[in-house]
Structure 1
Amino acid sequence: MTFAGALATLSLMMAQPTDQPPPEQPVVQLAQGVLAGRADDTVAAFKNIPYAAPPVAELRWRPPGAAPTWEGRRDASTYGPICIQATPQGDPGVGPLPMSEDCLNLNVWRPTDVAASPAPVMVWIHGGGLVNGSGTAALYDGSHLARQGMVLVSMNYRLGRLGFFDHPALAAERPADEAAGNYGLMDVIAALQWVRANIAVFGGDPANVTIFGESAGGAIVTRMMISPPARGLFDRAIVQSGLGRELQTPLDRRGAYDLPSARERGEVWAHGHNLLTAADLRAAPVELLLTPAPVFANGDLSLIDGRIVPSTVEAAFRAGRQAPVPMVIGTNSAEFWWMKPTDRNGYGMIDDDLTWLERATITAAYGGEAGFDRGFITDAVFSEPARRLARLHAAAGHPAYLYRFDISSPDNPEPHGGATHAIERPYVFGTLPLLPYPVREADVAASAAMMGYWIAFSRSGDPNGVGRPDWPMAGGGDTQLMLFRNDGPSATPVPDSARLDLIERFRERPHAISKSTQATVKTHY
């Protein structure tokens, strides 16, 4: 197919969304009731399917309850509400309004013609710093992947303080054996349980489920990898820019560097709004819960609760406690190009613990202060942790594939010097017309390659296939990765490995956080 033809095909797919009224509605029968979706000639979509009870009133800050049932046919032709978050400001990963606390819904795309054998299932977990985003954004339309024989599921999960929060009054009233704090992760687990129980009705294979996510969604994937309640609910995992060494906060005790626990943070926030009891908290208007916004980088939302998340991600991988499933993990080449180590947030803290010799050595590896300012956060937050997790997974005897996405358009107005954070998403979903600049032939080819690798991996646990460069497994020493560039994908040693070695050496030694960094986090409350 010519470039013009490929681009026309992509444009046509975007011009014919699954929301267009079909001549005949596809219908499926679940244990919950009957669903009536919408279809075109190639893809059937079922939207706004409740996978858990609405987490409202007395169920606010409780584990997700049983999914509701209904009588008659439920209209599944349009998206449901997104979860409560700050008013969207043009973020393409958010999706359309309305928003509501009653947001625990998911969406399913499948080929119109259900094959004789069940199709592989891909479950998308959106990013957004655990404070925004949804599974309903046009960016994540599952039609193109469904046209290639996959069943695609996207979901909403509780965000911000509704999804990641604790308080002494809540702790006092709940049963001792009830999981707490990580309600958004509990939602994801409930959605995966729903998929295992119901996806066969849509033509999907419940024994072949791949979870994949980007940014905070990728971080959720790593947490599913180490979560005991999630064990056995998926068969493969793809982590796109999912961090790996981020600051994680214990639920009910002081954390690393003697920083406040999640419960302490919740109590300080609530006291500032005169919310003293569990009843006060559950009656508080949702707008209040957004003020001030919690911050992922500061550890506000990345909680270690002991049940859903038993430890830091890196510690669990180091001990070999992660799910024994094939994993793809990677990053973009210029993730947080706009962020400097001197920025006062959780990411800017990282270099505070560098000794003068470590800083001088690492700065020299970047060619000076300008290079250090431009690249250190990207490497310390994303590139080095991804390499570390890939190596640990391989050392545990599990297939691990590492990648770096470095597609960069000359029409991109950002002074990024590479592939910025989250820019790979339309390449994975085949939604290139949503790029904020003109689509080039290189973009179409890169999207086809990425989807080919992602689909092959989701089918078999191996991303390789005929017609694409071979993607070697990651390992120790001279780890190889798949590098996606404008001139096509190629296997190569990890770029800038000498810099990453220095960062890994620094990140692996014990640290004593500076008083200024402690103050930065504590004064956030």
Structure 2
Amino acid sequence: MTFVGALATLSLMMAQPTDQPPVDQPVVQLAQGALAGRTEDTVASFKNIPYAAPPVAEQRWRPPGEAPRWEGQRDATTYGAICIQATPQGDPGVGPLPMSEDCLNLNVWRPLDVIDPAPVMVWIHGGGLVNGSGTAALYDGAHLARQGMVVVTLNYRLGRLGFFDHPALAAERPSEEAAGNYGLMDVIAALKWVRANIAAFGGDPANVTIFGESAGGAIVTRMMISPPARGLFERAVVQSGLGRELQTPLDRRGAYDLPSARERGEVWAHGHNLLTAADLRAAPVEQLLTPAPVFANGDLSLIDGRILTSTVEAAFRAGRQAPVPMMIGTNSAEFWWMKPTDRNGYGMIDDDMTWLERAMITAAYGGEAGFDRGFITDAVFTEPARRLARLHTAAGHPAYLYRFDVSSPDNPEPHGGATHAIERPYVFGTLPLLPYPVRDADRAASEAMTRYWTAFARSGDPNGVGRPEWPLAEDGETQLMQFRNDGPAATAVPEAGRLDLIEMFRERPHLISKPAVTPPTSRPTASPSA
């Protein structure tokens, strides 16, 4: 038995229902069966709840199936398996082993004193669509639950198990079956589960906020434009969720004439001598991890024609996004360590610049050193967030823009601001997991963010008595809420001139027409980090 296989066996053993919980355990009755959770302080938690059938064996690279049922009371006191990914390297967003293909589980926290149906916050983790989980201590929902929220975290299929296609798989599936974006299908299945079951935990199924960071934020934007996700949530929060990233059509070439997802899958599989659908479904999971697919290169960000029919920015520009309130923002020094000359999808962004555009943008950064240090952060995160916020407001829907710039002097990284993903423990109230001492300024920032985020989840408006007014993000001199060491403050978007130049470049007609829209496909035929 392989190492991952042993972990999968252990995961299945841990998931078996038990007959009797201790008397102090909270019990929730679902249509699937009874769950016995755990109480800590003023919060009850229920973990490792399967929201879909295990996507294993013949169900590998299939849409998620119906959630399993069980007899008796299922032990919901410990986390389930995380989804298959490369061996964790100390990333606090990954969570504990074991890992398994049988990983479509979620976790729920609720306040013990919930009386009225409570707002629901569903967290979608990041990790470049290749790592991470909803079980990481970083995403413990207890602090948000103590603010009156019912909190859900979830796992979804990652890497090639979650975002993949191949001619052999295309040839055997029914014409009406969605394909490629299996990780997104998982998230939609989890949201459907929340709609059907969250009332049993005291949550309001008609008041669901989805929020996510990095690739999780990108999934939030995809839920905003996905037809099957429509009506499954009432609010959306996008933390560092990109917005103009490369998106690859499933079965034809896309931007920059890059290979389709199906072509990439065929090339990868040929290198591993996996020629048939049976070969692919029998392949050991370790084989699927090498070489790793790359989010920045469009390997995992697919337009399949059913779950997603266009790029995110194109859908927002056409007003096809969900008509729900949205909060969106970025950190001040997201990818401070990445340069435009790096050989990946992010490094391709400036390749289409004319000499004049590059000269003007470089001058706006004060020269080449500033351009190298700040352009990728602005082009990948800051400008797209402003663009999506403006488009959402223009479509008549509330949009609130933010910038996180809390930066500790004890942070050893030479970042000059708030680096990518550093805001997560501030939102969740899990500051002790910061890799440096927690200051009063950190605690104050976390309290402010928690209050804004939970107010937004309650009503779609983050504002409330006792804190600075957060203005809507409108065109012109767009305003945002800036979270700083000295507290939150509403300001105009910093360095707007740089972003204006980047937007002018990104909005050139031949650039915005490159990511083609993919219509729903008929029966396919056979034919290569955020």
1-side partners of 2:437 and 2:346: how far apart?
Answer: 32
2-side partners of 1:446 and 1:319: how far apart?
Answer: 36
Determine if contact 2:48/2:79 at 8 Å carries over to the other structure.
yes
The Cα of 1:23 is off from its aligned counterpart by: 6.5
1:114 aligns with 2:151: no
The Cα of 1:491 is off from its aligned counterpart by: 0.3
String of CA shifts for 1:460-500, please: whole Å, max 9, x gaps.
00000011100000010000000000000000000000000
The Cα of 1:22 is off from its aligned counterpart by: 8.0
Residue number in structure 1 paired with 2:10: none
Determine if contact 2:32/2:67 at 8 Å carries over to the other structure.
yes
SS in 2 for 1:293: coil
Residue number in structure 1 paired with 2:343: 344
Residue number in structure 2 paired with 1:272: 271
Determine if contact 1:236/1:458 at 8 Å carries over to the other structure.
yes
1-side partners of 2:309 and 2:77: how far apart?
Answer: 39
1-side partners of 2:370 and 2:269: how far apart?
Answer: 42
String of CA shifts for 1:156-199, please: whole Å, max 9, x gaps.
00000000000000000000010000000000000000000000
**Superposed counterparts of 1:73-92, under 5 Å:** 73-92=73-92
**Superposed counterparts of 1:363-402, under 5 Å:** 363-402=362-401
String of CA shifts for 1:382-415, please: whole Å, max 9, x gaps.
0000000000000000000000000000000000
**Superposed counterparts of 1:402-421, under 5 Å:** 402-421=401-420
1-side partners of 2:450 and 2:47: how far apart?
Answer: 23
The Cα of 1:511 is off from its aligned counterpart by: 4.5
String of CA shifts for 1:102-135, please: whole Å, max 9, x gaps.
00000000011231x1000000000000000000
Amino acid at match of 2:295: F
SS in 2 for 1:205: strand
Determine if contact 1:131/1:159 at 8 Å carries over to the other structure.
yes
Determine if contact 2:114/2:148 at 8 Å carries over to the other structure.
no
Residue number in structure 1 paired with 2:496: 497
Residue number in structure 2 paired with 1:329: 328
Amino acid at match of 2:70: W
**Superposed counterparts of 1:301-312, under 5 Å:** 301-312=300-311
SS in 1 for 2:347: coil
String of CA shifts for 1:65-93, please: whole Å, max 9, x gaps.
00000000000000000000000000000
Residue number in structure 2 paired with 1:226: 225
Amino acid at match of 1:290: L
**Superposed counterparts of 1:15-34, under 5 Å:** 24-34=24-34
2-side partners of 1:219 and 1:22: how far apart?
Answer: 41
1:66 aligns with 2:61: no
2-side partners of 1:113 and 1:103: how far apart?
Answer: 31
Determine if contact 1:22/1:38 at 8 Å carries over to the other structure.
no
Residue number in structure 2 paired with 1:522: none
1-side partners of 2:118 and 2:71: how far apart?
Answer: 29
Residue number in structure 2 paired with 1:5: none
String of CA shifts for 1:15-46, please: whole Å, max 9, x gaps.
xxxxxx98700000000000000002300000
SS in 1 for 2:346: coil
The Cα of 1:267 is off from its aligned counterpart by: 0.3
Residue number in structure 2 paired with 1:13: none
Residue number in structure 2 paired with 1:316: 315
The Cα of 1:510 is off from its aligned counterpart by: 3.7
Determine if contact 1:257/1:512 at 8 Å carries over to the other structure.
no
The Cα of 1:258 is off from its aligned counterpart by: 1.1
2-side partners of 1:112 and 1:471: how far apart?
Answer: 31
2-side partners of 1:260 and 1:330: how far apart?
Answer: 31
Amino acid at match of 1:176: S
1:261 aligns with 2:256: no
Give me the TM-score of the superposition, normalised by structure 1.
0.93
Amino acid at match of 1:313: V
String of CA shifts for 1:350-407, please: whole Å, max 9, x gaps.
0111111100000000000000000000000000000000000000000000000000
2-side partners of 1:288 and 1:508: how far apart?
Answer: 40
Determine if contact 1:336/1:377 at 8 Å carries over to the other structure.
yes
**Superposed counterparts of 1:463-502, under 5 Å:** 463-502=462-501
Residue number in structure 1 paired with 2:145: 146
2-side partners of 1:360 and 1:51: how far apart?
Answer: 52
Unaligned runs of 5+ in 1: 1-20, 514-524
Determine if contact 1:179/1:308 at 8 Å carries over to the other structure.
yes
1-side partners of 2:361 and 2:451: how far apart?
Answer: 37
String of CA shifts for 1:270-311, please: whole Å, max 9, x gaps.
000000000000000000000000000000000000100110
- Tell which has more relative contact order, 1 or 2 (C-alpha 8 A, sep 6+): 2
Residue number in structure 2 paired with 1:12: none
**Superposed counterparts of 1:148-187, under 5 Å:** 148-187=147-186
The Cα of 1:256 is off from its aligned counterpart by: 1.1
Amino acid at match of 1:403: Y
Determine if contact 1:214/1:242 at 8 Å carries over to the other structure.
yes
1:94 aligns with 2:94: yes
SS in 2 for 1:445: helix
The Cα of 1:148 is off from its aligned counterpart by: 0.9
Residue number in structure 1 paired with 2:433: 434
Determine if contact 2:442/2:485 at 8 Å carries over to the other structure.
yes
2-side partners of 1:22 and 1:376: how far apart?
Answer: 56
Displaced runs of 4 or more, over 2 A: 510-513
2-side partners of 1:414 and 1:37: how far apart?
Answer: 40
Residue number in structure 2 paired with 1:9: none
2-side partners of 1:300 and 1:437: how far apart?
Answer: 34
1-side partners of 2:479 and 2:304: how far apart?
Answer: 35
**Superposed counterparts of 1:449-460, under 5 Å:** 449-460=448-459
Distance 1:405 1:188, change over 3 A: same
Residue number in structure 1 paired with 2:192: 193
Residue number in structure 1 paired with 2:519: none
1-side partners of 2:257 and 2:113: how far apart?
Answer: 57
Amino acid at match of 2:51: Y
Determine if contact 1:25/1:37 at 8 Å carries over to the other structure.
yes
1:129 aligns with 2:90: no
Give me the TM-score of the superposition, normalised by structure 2.
0.92
1-side partners of 2:391 and 2:34: how far apart?
Answer: 45
Amino acid at match of 1:212: F
RMSD: 1.0
2-side partners of 1:309 and 1:219: how far apart?
Answer: 12
String of CA shifts for 1:306-328, please: whole Å, max 9, x gaps.
10011000000000000000000
Determine if contact 1:353/1:511 at 8 Å carries over to the other structure.
no
